[in-house]
């Protein structure tokens, strides 16, 4: 397919080359700043574009990989009606497209992307949504050409999946960050925790997270919990996070306090 990519950030950086590698032609890459557009366009032998009015109108599909808050305004400024267009956001509704656009959809890869990390898109779940049958066929064909894990899902369900992903990825990552800072403050390396982190992730691949829960809150060991809170004295955010997560675990397992 002839594809125009709108956006040259973390996701587009992975998606555009992978689409090209799998036989698609990236006609143009649009980004707000010329530097970003040129960097990605060079990678996929496409035309770099930094003005919305210069986006070519003859592509089979337009993939919108812009920051969520920019999607609506950029779409409104498009000077033509695209043959087919889909955004890549976990939380933006399919109704974001201007009314006159007929073939609209969502092309959401459920994975975390950073420019500096390699991701095998072949295994990434693609969660799709379409406004009509024509779009469904185009999106399905495109997604199946790059991934073995393709699903059609409603905007409401996609939002729930995105919410779950924030807990499973963004929040867990922030907790790693806190753990790393705590160790650093005692001049200890974060590397010490890496085997534990790998084993924690490995365990839930084989059984439910609920069954794999361990730790002082799981045992409702108040003595240990108090000693940890003592160590967090004066650290408002860390103390609040620790207390809230403890309360959530204790409430879930309802073990009598030791
Ligand atoms: N990254 C992920 O892990 C991930 C995973 C799944 C889905 N997604 C979705 O993919 C989309 C892109 O995410 P991303 O992480 O790739 O974003 P990003 O790295 O922040 O890149 C955003 C792109 O949007 C442009 N942009 C930012 N603010 C803008 C504005 N106010 N007006 C016009 N353009 C603007 C940037 O242009 P310049 O660089 O030229 O400034 C860049 O091309 C989002 O909808 C996101 O929800 C992301």
Q: What is the mean pLDDT of each run of 10 residues along the chain (258 residues)?
A: 98 98 98 97 98 97 97 95 97 94 97 94 96 98 97 94 95 98 98 98 95 96 97 97 98 87
Domain end: 110, 135, 153, which one?
153
**Ligand 1 atom closest to Cα of 91?**
47
Nearest ligand 1 atom to the CA of 114 is 1
Q: What residues does ligand 1 touch, defined as CB less than 6 Å away?
A: 7-12, 31-33, 36, 65-68, 70, 74, 88-90, 108-109, 112-113
Where residue 52 sits, what CATH number does that domain have? Answer: 3.40.50.720
Last residue of a domain, one of 108, 125, 153: 153
Atom index in ligand 1 nearest the CA of residue 8 equals 43
Residue of 75, 74, 63, 69 whose CA lies nearest to 18? 63
Residue 175 lies in a domain: yes
Predicted local distance difference test score (pLDDT) of residue 39: 98
Let me know if residue 249 belongs to a domain: yes
> Do 100 and 171 belong to one domain?
no
| Distance between Cα 12 and ligand 1 center (Å) | 8
CATH number, residue 228: 1.10.1040.20
**134 and 240 co-located in one domain:** no
On whether both 233 and 105 belong to a single domain, the answer is: no
pLDDT attached to residue 257:
83
190 by Cβ neighbours in 10 Å (0-12 / 13-18 / 19+) ranks as middle
Asked if residue 69 is part of any domain, the answer here is yes
- Same domain? For 101 and 45 the reply is yes
Q: Is residue 25 part of a domain?
A: yes
- Domain-embedded: residue 231: yes
The ligand 1 atom at the shortest distance from the C-alpha of residue 110 is: 6
Residue 128 lies in a domain: yes
Contact 3, 27 (CB under 8 A): yes
Rounded to a whole number, what is the distance in angstroms from the first to the last CA of the chain? 63
Rounded Cα gap, residues 41 and 48, in angstroms: 5
Please check whether residues 35 and 130 belong to one and the same domain: yes
178 in the same domain as 90: no
Does 93 share its domain with 174? no
| pLDDT score at 256 | 84
How far, in Å, from the CA of 66 to the mean position of ligand 1?
A: 4
On whether the CB atoms of residues 253 and 232 are closer than 8 A, the answer is no
Distance 64 CA to ligand 1 centre (A): 9
- Are 195 and 221 contained in the same domain? yes
| Residue 69 CA to ligand 1 centre (angstroms) | 9
Q: How many domains does the chain have?
A: 2
126-130 sheet: strands from edge to edge: 47-49, 25-30, 2-6, 61-64, 85-87, 104-109, 126-130, 150-152
Domain end point (choices 96, 124, 153) = 153
Predicted pLDDT at 14: 97
Instruction: Supply the pLDDT for residue 68.
Output: 96
pTM: 0.90
* Residues 123, 138: Cα–Cα separation, whole Å: 20
Task: Return the ligand 1 atom nearest residue 92 CA.
Answer: 45
Q: In terms of residue numbers, what domain contains 93? A: 2-153
Axis crossing angle, helix 236-253 with helix 172-185, rounded to the nearest 10 = 130
Q: Do 122 and 207 belong to one domain?
A: no
Asked whether residue 11 falls in the same domain as residue 71, the answer is: yes
Q: Which distant-in-sequence residues (6+ apart) come within 8 Å of 122 by Cβ?
A: 146, 147, 148
* pLDDT in the model for residue 251: 96
Q: Is residue 9 part of a domain?
A: yes
44 HSE (CA, 13 A, CB side): 32
Best of 4, 5, 6, 9 for a ligand 1 pocket test (most atoms within 8 Å of beta carbon):
9
Specify whether 140 is located in the same domain as 173. Answer: no
Distance 88 CA to ligand 1 centre (A): 9
């Amino acid at each position: 397919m002839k594809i125009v990519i709108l956006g040259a950030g973390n996701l587009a950086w992975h998606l555009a080359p992978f689409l090209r590698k799998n036989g698609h032609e990236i006609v143009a890459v649009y980004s707000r700043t010329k530097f970003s557009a040129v960097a990605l366009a060079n990678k996929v032998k496409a035309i770099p574009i930094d003005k919305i009015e210069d986006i070519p109108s003859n592509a089979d599909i337009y993939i919108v990989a812009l920051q969520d808050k920019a999607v609506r305004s950029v779409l409104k400024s498009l000077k033509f009606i695209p043959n087919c267009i889909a955004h890549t956001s976990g939380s933006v509704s399919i109704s974001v497209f201007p009314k006159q656009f007929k073939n609209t959809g969502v092309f959401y890869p459920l994975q975390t992307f950073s420019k500096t990390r390699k991701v095998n898109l072949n295994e990434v779940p693609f969660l799709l949504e379409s406004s009509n049958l024509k779009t469904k066929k185009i999106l399905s064909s495109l997604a199946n050409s790059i991934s073995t894990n393709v699903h059609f899902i409603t905007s409401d369900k996609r939002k729930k999946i995105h919410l779950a992903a924030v807990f499973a990825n963004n929040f867990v990552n922030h907790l790693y960050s806190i753990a790393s800072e705590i160790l650093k403050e005692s001049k200890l390396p974060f590397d010490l925790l890496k085997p534990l982190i790998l084993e924690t992730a490995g365990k839930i691949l084989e059984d439910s997270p609920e069954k794999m829960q361990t730790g002082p809150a799981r045992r409702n060991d108040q003595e240990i919990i108090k000693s940890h809170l003592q160590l967090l004295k004066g650290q408002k955010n860390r103390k609040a996070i620790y207390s809230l997560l403890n309360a959530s675990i204790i409430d879930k397992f309802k073990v009598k306090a030791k």
